[in-house]
Structure 1
Amino acid sequence: MTAPAFDTPLHIHHGDCIDYLAGLPGGCIDLVVTDPPYGIAYKTGHRTEPHRFAREIENDRDLSVVEAVVPHLYRLLKNDSACFMFCAWKRQDEVAEILAGGGFTVKNRIVWDKGTTTAGDLKGAFGYQYEVLMFATKGAPAIRGKRWPDVWRHMRVSADKLHHQNEKPVPLLEQAVLSMSDPGDTVLDPFMGSGSTGVACLNCGRDFVGCEIDPGYFGVARDRLDAESAQGRMFAGCF
């Protein structure tokens, strides 16, 4: 019998996800739910320091980190499993090509309807109210429970509750987790940011593996997951 890759329900790593994932054994992950850098050099409208969201996102100048991570995701996923990956609508075709080039079959471009528009170009463009969530598969996994339409409606996180400038709402992530995994499965987020996917996994009874390169956000995720865990610190071996 092969030894399990992870010895705790919550396993998080601070550092470059490419290096970390390269050291994991193939076929140890049941589902990927992740929100990588969009390749658009995003910077929040809060442009003056010392606002906590003033700095740019790591590795957000292009899609090179997505190109680098996709082969690892495919190798780590078990057969008949799935990957959910958020992306910018402006780069969705490129992301779909990267996923397909890595062996995945892109099944849906799910629309996350955020329920409200962002600022953007107030005079020259209509308000942006959605983001794209790629749904890609390795093999032929079955949807658990309800077969949802490809528009998922969840209000974005209010500004006063944000842990990260690009934070996704936990109920949205729970919908992905519940749709394509079973209780006790291991879910990977190699760009975990403030740990929202981990919170969704805790709520849904899944194990979680996360990685974050930014030391500040890693600390936020660690503390948040510790607080959310009913069993206290379950990732004593995090590093």
Structure 2
Amino acid sequence: MTQTISPADIEIKPRQRKILTLPQIEKMAASIEKFGLFSPPVMVPGSEPGKVQLVSGFTRLQGMMYLKWEEIPYTLYEEADEITIKEMELEENIQRTDLEWWEKAEAVAEIHELRMSQDPTWNMRKTAEMTGEALGTVSQSVQLRDEVKTNPEMKTEKTLRGALQKLDVKKKLVEKRKDIERRAKGLTPSLRAEIIVGDAAELIKLEPDESFDAIVTNLPFGIDLEFKGGHKPYEDDEQLIIDLVQTVVVESFRVLKDDSWFAAWFDIRKITYSNAQLQLYKKLAGLTKLADYKKLFFDSMGLNFWLQEAGFSYVTLVPALWVKPNKTQGMIGDPRKGMIVAAEAMVLASKGGAFLMKQGRNNVFIYDSLSGSERDYSMQMPADLCTEVVSMVSLSGGRILDPFAGSGSIGLGALNRECEFKGYELNPEAASIGNMLLKQHHLAGQEKDG
């Protein structure tokens, strides 16, 4: 039976729902004003006489309060126990379209567990029938709810599908680690490859002069990446990255042996400069009053110029390109005017009189980017591409450095070339995955030889 009560006597406890925006409340209020209240909110007895507790109908209640109703119609459930109240609340939330995927997964999982606590014969199929969800969705909801509890960053995934893919990758990594540990027993731990967690600008300064045969790396682009959920494993501000790259370039020249190569992928917009820019820079260099502008202009000259200023004797005038035929996403700007970016640029620079190990090759490298199922980390390059680049700049047995190692793709290329590898990586998660992949590669080689 429908009753009425003052809004002041309604208790609203913390619950699984979003904070409503003013437009949402206004929309509900307009609907109530035009069509009336089709279904009153559901209440149960409150914490003290004369009070009631809201179970379902939060948006409707907010709409009536917006209209300044002094008496709120409601339906009272006198005998509802805690489990019934929870189920009623969760059931309403499941039907809402504005829930985040993880909120809905949490609601479905809680209903399933509440029912199981009441009925030992209860199963996921019955939960699916009760909630109107697919059986697979119920199973996935239970898995993801448990994962979100231990790993809150899962909430940053935009969709249920994305969260499931991330969970699948995590499970595969766990199994891969177990497999590596099992296979490593009894084998010689002679791996000559590692990724060290830390800041490249600081770590490279600790290396002795002329201690590497080649440097191959994927420089940070400085495009201020928006990481999901606002979590950033490192800063990607443009000016910070420009300063970082300039430091690493100078140190790279120092730690490279004579007659060796520096190869780096970089943002194509920050690579080349024109003769007009060069002439203007030379004029600015002699004007002490414009010292502040000199740094600004130096930064704008790009990677090729920074390499030349560091002492590299030869720098490719036209960058090489890694072309990705399977790239179907990555539009920049207005999708009606722009094109999908399906290529990355690479610069080669030599210290001394180095020659390429593979000569006469064109400057286009055609390799598909890795699919989601092939990647162990989000920004992972094809090992075959890295192997070819390492083979161009180093003989077998050389010592390769990657100051921005990520998950170790260039390290795998170095091992394929039978080179020693050292990498730096600021993100501990990426470094951990990279070291695991390097160890896996090493074990596969030992097993093959054995």
Q: What TM bracket, shorter-length normalisation?
A: 0.7 to 0.9
- In the alignment, structure 1 residue 39 sits paired with structure 2 residue 39: no
- For residue 58 of structure 1, what is the aligned residue in structure 2? 234
More strand by share: 1
**Pairing partner for 2:211 from 14, 18, 28:** 28
SS in 2 for 1:175: helix
Contact 1:79/1:139 (8 A) holds in 2? yes
SS in 2 for 1:58: coil
Q: Which runs of 4+ in 1 moved over 3 A?
A: 54-57
Q: What is the alpha-carbon distance in structure 2 between the residues aligned to residue 231 and residue 156 of structure 1?
A: 23
- For residue 305 of structure 2, what is the aligned residue in structure 1? 97
Contact 2:191/2:442 (8 A) holds in 1? no
RMSD, aligned CA: 2.2
Q: What is the alpha-carbon distance in structure 1 between the residues aligned to residue 218 and residue 357 of structure 2?
A: 22
**Pairing partner for 1:114 from 305, 324, 336:** 324
Contact 2:330/2:342 (8 A) holds in 1? no
SS in 1 for 2:263: strand
Q: What is the alpha-carbon distance in structure 1 between the residues aligned to residue 442 and residue 191 of structure 2?
A: 12
- For residue 77 of structure 1, what is the aligned residue in structure 2? 256
Q: Deviations over 1:25-61 (max 9, x none)?
A: 11010011001210111346xx4x4xxxx74462421
SS in 1 for 2:203: helix
Contact 1:37/1:57 (8 A) holds in 2? no
Superposed displacement of residue 219, structure 1: 0.9
**Pairing partner for 1:124 from 323, 337, 341:** 337
Aligned AA (2:306): I
Superposed displacement of residue 181, structure 1: 0.7
Contact 1:37/1:59 (8 A) holds in 2? no
Range 178-187 or range 90-99, more displaced = 90-99
- For residue 236 of structure 1, what is the aligned residue in structure 2? none
Aligned AA (1:60): D
Range 209-218 or range 224-233, more displaced = 224-233
**Pairing partner for 2:421 from 208, 211, 218:** 208
Higher relative contact order (CA 8 A, sep 6+): 1
SS in 1 for 2:443: coil
Aligned CA distance change for structure 1 residues 55 and 67 (closer, same or farther; 3 Å)? same
Q: Deviations over 1:9-34 (max 9, x none)?
A: 21331111222111111101001100
- In the alignment, structure 1 residue 178 sits paired with structure 2 residue 391: yes
Q: What is the alpha-carbon distance in structure 1 between the residues aligned to residue 355 and residue 387 of structure 2?
A: 17
How many residue pairs match? The answer is 220
**Pairing partner for 1:161 from 366, 371, 374:** 374
Aligned AA (2:356): I
Superposed displacement of residue 160, structure 1: 2.2
Q: What is the alpha-carbon distance in structure 1 between the residues aligned to residue 369 and residue 243 of structure 2?
A: 27
Q: What is the alpha-carbon distance in structure 2 between the residues aligned to residue 117 and residue 67 of structure 1?
A: 33
With the length of structure 1 as denominator, give the TM-score of the two structures.
0.84
Q: What is the alpha-carbon distance in structure 2 between the residues aligned to residue 174 and residue 211 of structure 1?
A: 19
Aligned CA distance change for structure 1 residues 83 and 101 (closer, same or farther; 3 Å)? same
Contact 1:226/1:232 (8 A) holds in 2? no
Aligned AA (1:114): K
Aligned CA distance change for structure 1 residues 106 and 15 (closer, same or farther; 3 Å)? same
Aligned CA distance change for structure 1 residues 36 and 150 (closer, same or farther; 3 Å)? same
Contact 2:219/2:404 (8 A) holds in 1? yes
**Pairing partner for 2:200 from 17, 24, 39:** 17
- For residue 3 of structure 1, what is the aligned residue in structure 2? none
Q: What is the alpha-carbon distance in structure 1 between the residues aligned to residue 360 and residue 321 of structure 2?
A: 15
Range 116-125 or range 183-192, more displaced = 116-125
- In the alignment, structure 1 residue 86 sits paired with structure 2 residue 265: yes
Contact 1:80/1:141 (8 A) holds in 2? yes
With the length of structure 2 as denominator, give the TM-score of the two structures.
0.46
- For residue 197 of structure 1, what is the aligned residue in structure 2? 410
Contact 1:81/1:141 (8 A) holds in 2? yes
- For residue 91 of structure 2, what is the aligned residue in structure 1? none
SS in 2 for 1:221: helix
Indicate the percent of aligned positions where both proteins have the same amino acid.
25
Contact 1:37/1:58 (8 A) holds in 2? no
Q: What is the alpha-carbon distance in structure 2 between the residues aligned to residue 170 and residue 149 of structure 1?
A: 20
Q: Deviations over 1:160-207 (max 9, x none)?
A: 222333322111111111111111100100100001111111111111
- For residue 434 of structure 2, what is the aligned residue in structure 1? 221
